[in-house]
Chains A and B, each alone.
Chain A
Amino acid sequence: MARHQNIRNLDYEAELEEYGAFSDEEEEELSPEDQVRMREGTAQVLEALGVEAHKVTKAQIEESLWHYYWDVDKTITYLISKYIDPPKKPAKTAPPKTAPKQDGLLGGSGAPPKMSKLQQLAAARKKKAEEKSASGEVEQTQVKMTELTVNDNQASKENRPLAGVFGKRVKISETTAQGRIPLTMAEPTRPEIPQAQAPEATPSQHQEEDPIDPEPAVAPPKAQPSAFASTLFGPSSDSPKRRPREVPDAFGKPSPDDVVLAAQAKVATAGKKSANVHSKKGSSSADGVTNQVSQLKIDDTPLPKSRNLNVLSEFEKQKGKKTASFVVVGHVDAGKSTMMGRLLLDLNVVDQRTVDKLRKEAEKIGKTSFALAWVLDQRHEERSRGVTIDIATNRFETETTSFTILDAPGHRDFIPNMIAGASQADFAILVIDASTGAFESGLKGQTREHSLLIRSMGVSRIIVAVNKLDTVNWSQERFDEITHQVSGFLTATGFQPKNIAFVPVSGLHGDNLVRKFTDPAASWYTGKTLVEELEASEPSARALAKPLRMTISEVMRTPQSSISITGRIDAGSLQMGDALLVQPSGEKAYVKSLQVDDGEPADWAVAGQNVVLHLSNIDPIHVRVGDIVCDPAKPIQCVDTFTLKALAFDILMPMQVDVHRGRLHAAGKIEAIDAILDKVTGKVTKKKPMIVKPGTVSRVRVTLHSKVPLEAGQRVVLRSGGQTVAAGLLE
């Protein structure tokens, strides 16, 4: 029992000490001699700082001086690092006391980037501390006490310096406290107990040291010292003087406990700051403290933390496969989806079992030949009607490249979806049905419109897959005929001959997709397979350094966030924690986390990648498909009128049109035709024409019914009455 008594006394003492230090620190005036030293020190510091001196306030200097105990050099280093040339922003609000005296921990409050983990740690510690102080504490100390009593003599020598350690620790705890004093009073005390006992192992020693005898029945460490302690002790003026003086010599190096405590303190302050950037250094008044506590609660959900990576250099460092995406276009029923289904099967992206299952399902509704297409056509309507309606994305990898497939619908009603797909592609596969009659009708239909569209969307490389050649018994004549006609038409559209490749394939059977021909009838063809041709295609250059632009192609709900968006980054780069602006709503959002290409979580993404962004701090109502996500510093403007340098595919006159850009689809009208331009030089050949003939380039003014995000240099497509009438470049 005697020991218990002992412990109580000790703890009480510790608390008194602590309280004393606390009150001194905050409320007590400096003693006259300290004031003199302070004045001298301040003068020295100001002198040393010279020109920069205006950046720090006198109070800051004094505070730091006091902290470093008149060590002018350290103070200057500290001030420079903290205020004059701060390494990071959050350091500003940090009270200098936060940093323990060790130089190594100087920047402690300079909030290192890994905030969230630290916050967690702090919270965990706090919880643990509470638990411990509630129950295990007494026992624990008891155990340690027995250990300590052995080293009795040794410990007693360290008696005095320890007071200093205490004081320091209290300082730490106090800054940690800001806003939750009662808790911290109890918390940091606890781990100290064994140390504190060292010098005062026996009751007698203890009493010698401190003449004022605390009541034996006094409350255990959890109790608040405030009122009682202050009445008993009042602020003692000599304690702060005595304390720090001993420190430097005796404890040049921090004890292990100190290190832990310092880290703890750092964690707590850092975490708090990140949660509440606005909270200033608290005054010691209770009001201020409660205010800050409430502030803390309001900013409950922290913004995602940015790791401040240099994304572009990260991207350069990264050595991986090149990525490319391609769109598959062609007339309806040319076999686009089936061909891609076969490609995925042959590359083992989908297994035979899945296809067999699909085949069985397809048989049920009498559409056996659609089984491969169903790999991509997953919608109910698509399957029952046998047409692709929306873009299907899928991916596969070859040895050199990882590809994204965008399987576009061929039906003319779904051209808006095809445009959305083409806007995400680096190059295109144009599938042509070689069977008799189908090729001819395709050339009049979507074969033509699609190639016009992809050309005007900026895709310059095109691979023409002459499909279903097996139905004409791999006739070379037919292939040559098609090659001749299509290449002529494509060059007229504006594709350069070197960017056009022709590959005969059979999508249904998989000939010349991944493997070479097996049919001897096709032995005349010695060129590349489709996959080889794909690998030979270079993805177009990415606009990495430009401000961020990304068109949202889908908005969905995922486990990671209630608003996740997908899309391909058109320009620029982004990383976790970045703020984004969603146009046209003009709302800000933050990137909570992100996934690139194949669903891999990543820290950053650059132009050309297909990403899934998990957003936070935005209402779903502000995010729609077709919106543009951009850099808040360099936002894209929302416009409802724009001028367009347009290549007409049909007669243009002032009329109502649909404006397409990627997923963006808006209704508007051609307000006026300003001029007809020369196709090559761009000179005005006729002003204010009544109409624009197909194939000519003109400058037209378009007004939209609503504001949409568009900017110069973007490519848009104008459609009217289900026909693509023009495509052009925004001016």
Chain B
Amino acid sequence: MRFTNPKHSLSTLDPSGESPVSLLPTTPEDMWHAHNLIAPSDLLRAHAIRKVVTTGSTGSTTSDRVHTDLTIRVQSVFFDPAASSLHVSGTVCQENQYVSLGQHHTLDLELNRPFQLWKRSGWDSVSLKMLEEAVAEDTGEAMCAVVMQEGLANICLITEFQTVVKQRVEANIPKKRAGGSASQGGMTSFYEKTLATLLRTVDFSQPRPLLLASPGFVAQDFRGYMQSEGQKRTDKKLQRMAKDAVVVHSSTGYVHSLNEVLKSPEVQATMRDKRFTGETALMDQLYDRLRKDDGRAWYGAKPVERAVKEGAVGRGGGVLLINNKFFRSLDIKTRKRFVALVDKVKEDGGEARVLSSDHESGQRLDALGGIAAILTYPIYDLDEDEVEEGGEGEESGAAAEEGAMII
């Protein structure tokens, strides 16, 4: 993504949001950035195709599809990660010859077509940071990861900001039986299917890192299969792919095993500079602290807000982790509350990380309610209020007869 006008930059930006920012998305990833930037109640002007129905003097109707530019007040934003397309719907706030004021329209943002954005609430620190990330130079190729187990493979693309599951391959592997070698054939056809899907869904014309992860020997065998297949087809590219592929251990073939993949030393070594590896490390740190239950890690909006208010998330290891979904599609009041939280942490000298909820680490954070913090010093009983709120006495019986242990 870049500014349409090369003279513009972050420094020339009007922080009040009164004057528009004109941006040009160039890569599919930019759609994701746009998704984060465009919030409800903002004004958006972009190219639109609208069906216009005109009634002739005789009462006959003709419908035309007209190309026009429309300005809408955003009501909702829908992002399709698999197709990297963004649909923004809202009401028209600047009428023209085809559309009158107040009519609804859904703008489909397109690559290489500029759009203009007015931030009605002004550019706050979080949105500025997002814009900064959006217009920054593309830091590199997306990494491809195949997380697999017997009969299941998830082909994912891990980019700087999101993890996209490109395709899921499932196969029925015959279980072993007396005198049968059917499972061997089953595995081979599963590898064949996975490899075909991988080459079809992910573009390997430019070399890109490939991670193979599985429990047991599946990933290793798959790499072997790729190698032998490359030799069989005398396909140099495939051979190189197989040679460069990194085999990592994961406990299952489901996407959430990517966590294990990303924190494995093999991956850390090659992708140390990537943003998501840092996030994964932070999430692990948080989980470790939660495990220890030492009062230095808290999750959930209320405890974290209280901790931040006390200044516990500050200099010397304080980290606020917050999912970017909190800044998306929320009403301005809530958004301001969380922006204030981020600002407060920064002011105190702590680290505020806005995690992408489209990443594995972000999804782990999502499980914890989307917000968590590592405190500089331990505070206990931050959640006390919540317990009291819960009320008492709804549960009582139903267990007395269960004897020694209830499960």
Contacts and interface: CB of A to CB of B under 8 A. Distances in A.
Contact of B367 (A416, A656, A682, A688): A656
A113 interface: no
A392 B178 CA distance: 8
A683 B256 contact: no
B180 A378 contact: yes
Closest 5 CB pairs of A and B: A682-B399, A722-B251, A413-B215, A667-B254, A687-B390
Contacts of A647: 405, 407
B80 interface: no
A681 B399 contact: yes
Residue of B249, B254, B259 most packed against chain A (CB within 10 A):
B254
Name which of B181, B215, B252, B364 has the most chain A CB atoms within 10 A of its CB: B252
A555 B175 CA distance: 8
Contacts of A200: none
Interface in B14-33: none
A343 to B, nearest CB: 16
A381 B179 contact: no
Q: Name B's interface SS.
A: loop
B406 interface: yes
Contacts of B251: 413, 658, 719, 721-723
Contact of B405 (A394, A494, A684): A494
Interface of A: 378-382, 385, 389-392, 394, 411, 413-414, 416, 456, 494, 553-556, 624-625, 645-647, 651, 653-656, 658, 665, 667, 669-671, 675, 677-684, 686-688, 690-691, 693, 697, 719, 721-723, 727-729
Contacts of A411: 216
B405 A680 contact: yes
A656 B363 contact: yes
B374 to A, nearest CB: 14
A143 to B, nearest CB: 58
Nearest to A644: B407
Interface centre among A389, A394, A671 (most CB of B within 10 A): A389
A721 B249 CA distance: 11
B133 to A, nearest CB: 26
Nearest to A683: B399
Contacts, number: 139
Nearest to B183: A379
Contacts of B215: 413-414, 722
B407 A729 contact: yes
20 contacts: A378-B179, A414-B216, A456-B407, A494-B404, A494-B405, A554-B174, A555-B172, A646-B407, A655-B364, A656-B259, A656-B363, A671-B367, A679-B405, A680-B405, A681-B399, A682-B406, A686-B387, A690-B293, A690-B299, A723-B251
A665 B250 CA distance: 15
Contact of A691 (B179, B221, B255, B291): B291
A693 B292 CA distance: 10
Given A380-B181, A667-B254, A655 B367 contact: yes
Interface centre among B151, B172, B184, B386 (most CB of A within 10 A): B172
A722 B260 contact: yes
Given A381-B217, A721-B251, A654 B368 contact: yes
Contacts of A727: 407
Contacts of B399: 677-678, 681-683
A98 to B, nearest CB: 48
A378 B176 contact: yes
Given A391-B175, A653-B368, A722-B215, A683 B395 contact: yes
Interface of B: 151, 172, 174-184, 215-217, 221, 249-252, 254-256, 259-260, 287, 290-291, 293, 298-300, 363-364, 367-369, 383, 386-387, 390, 395-396, 398-400, 402, 404-407
B406 A677 contact: yes
A207 B395 CA distance: 99
Contacts of B299: 653-654, 690
Contacts of B252: 416, 658, 665, 667, 719, 722
A678 B290 CA distance: 22
Contact of A413 (B175, B184, B216, B368): B216
Given A378-B180, A381-B221, 16 more contacts: A378-B177, A394-B178, A414-B216, A416-B252, A494-B404, A553-B175, A654-B299, A655-B367, A658-B254, A680-B406, A681-B399, A682-B402, A683-B396, A690-B290, A722-B215, A722-B251
Which secondary structure characterizes the binding site on chain A? Answer: mixed
Contacts of B406: 645, 677, 679-682, 697
A646 B215 CA distance: 25
Nearest to A350: B178
Contacts of A669: 256, 367
B296 to A, nearest CB: 12
B175 A554 contact: yes
A380 B407 contact: no
Nearest to B393: A684
B390 A688 contact: yes
Given A682-B398, A686-B387, A690-B298, A721 B405 contact: no
Nearest to B255: A667
A665 B369 CA distance: 25
Nearest to A493: B405
A467 to B, nearest CB: 23
A665 B178 CA distance: 24
Given A390-B175, A651-B291, A680-B406, A379 B395 contact: no
A95 B195 CA distance: 63
A714 to B, nearest CB: 12
Contacts of B181: 378-380
Contacts of A378: 176-181
A391 to B, nearest CB: 7
Given A378-B178, A667-B254, A654 B369 contact: yes
A379 B367 contact: no
Given A645-B406, A658-B252, A722-B251, A651 B175 contact: no
Contacts of B369: 654
Contacts of B180: 378
A555 B174 CA distance: 7
Contacts of A394: 178
Contact of B364 (A555, A656, A667): A656
B407 A385 contact: no
Given A380-B181, A385-B217, A683-B396, A624 B172 contact: yes
| Residue of A656, A679, A728 ringed by the most chain B CB atoms within 10 A | A656
Contacts of A391: 175
A345 to B, nearest CB: 15
A364 to B, nearest CB: 17
B184 A380 contact: yes
Nearest to A646: B407
B310 to A, nearest CB: 17
B174 A556 contact: yes
B250 to A, nearest CB: 8
A691 B172 contact: no
A690 B175 contact: no
A645 B405 CA distance: 11
A552 to B, nearest CB: 11
Contacts of A382: 176
A691 B293 contact: yes
Nearest to B187: A381
A392 B252 CA distance: 21
A129 to B, nearest CB: 47
Contacts of A625: 151, 172, 175
Contacts of A414: 215-216
Most-contacted residue by chain A among B260, B287, B367, B369 (CB, 10 A): B367
Contacts of A681: 399-400, 406
A679 B170 CA distance: 40
A270 B231 CA distance: 64
A291 B316 CA distance: 87
Contacts of B174: 554, 556
Contacts of A682: 398-400, 402, 406
A646 B177 CA distance: 34
B363 A721 contact: no
